[in-house]
Amino acid sequence: MNLSPVSFRSYFASLLSVVALLFIVSSCGSDKGKVEGVNMLYGSSSKVWVTDKQTNAAGDKVKQDAAAKDQEISFASNGTYSGTQSGKYVFDQTAKTITMTPEGSTTSNTFNIETLTDSKLTLVNPNSPESKLMLKAK
């Protein structure tokens, strides 16, 4: 195969452009899988989160009514949460989980954390990985 210097340069320039474009697209991607420190959960002392999106067990988006969109949950630095229910939570960054125990209950619920940044929190049902609750900081 005989490539002239001109065609090789244009091929090489095209290849570099594609690589640069892929790099830019991948670096601007989602925060999925990014779980930052526990302070992202509660900010300086407490942080309010509101529902952004929700998916069901099939991974389909759940239509949210106004009441669901207005639901809030607040996490505090002392290991408590409040909202429609109040209780205590334990955050495990290594396991990427949060365990929530409602007040007066001996039963707790553990959720996998898919994303935790300063502005996004995605909780995943460990028994149904497509069932997710995506929250945004208020």
The answer to whether residues 65 and 5 belong to one domain is no
pTM above 0.95, yes or no: no
The answer to whether residues 123 and 79 belong to one domain is yes
pLDDT score of 104? 95
Number of domains composing the chain = 2
The answer to whether residues 43 and 23 belong to one domain is no
Cα–Cα dist 88/98, whole Å: 10
User: Digits of tens for pLDDT over the chain (138 positions)?
Assistant: 555 555 545 544 444 444 333 344 334 456 777 888 888 999 999 999 999 999 999 999 998 888 777 889 999 999 999 998 999 999 999 999 999 999 999 999 999 999 999 999 999 999 999 999 999 999
The answer to whether residues 111 and 59 belong to one domain is yes
The answer to whether residues 14 and 47 belong to one domain is no
The answer to whether residues 93 and 130 belong to one domain is yes
- Number of residues that make up the chain: 138
Cα–Cα dist 56/14, whole Å: 42
Cα–Cα dist 89/102, whole Å: 9
pLDDT score of 26? 39
pLDDT score of 76? 97
pLDDT score of 59? 92
The answer to whether residues 79 and 109 belong to one domain is yes
Burial of residue 87 (CB within 10 Å: 0-12, 13-18, 19+) is middle
The parent domain of residue 106 ranges over 39-137
The answer to whether residues 24 and 44 belong to one domain is no
Q: What CATH number does residue 75 fall under?
A: 2.40.128.280
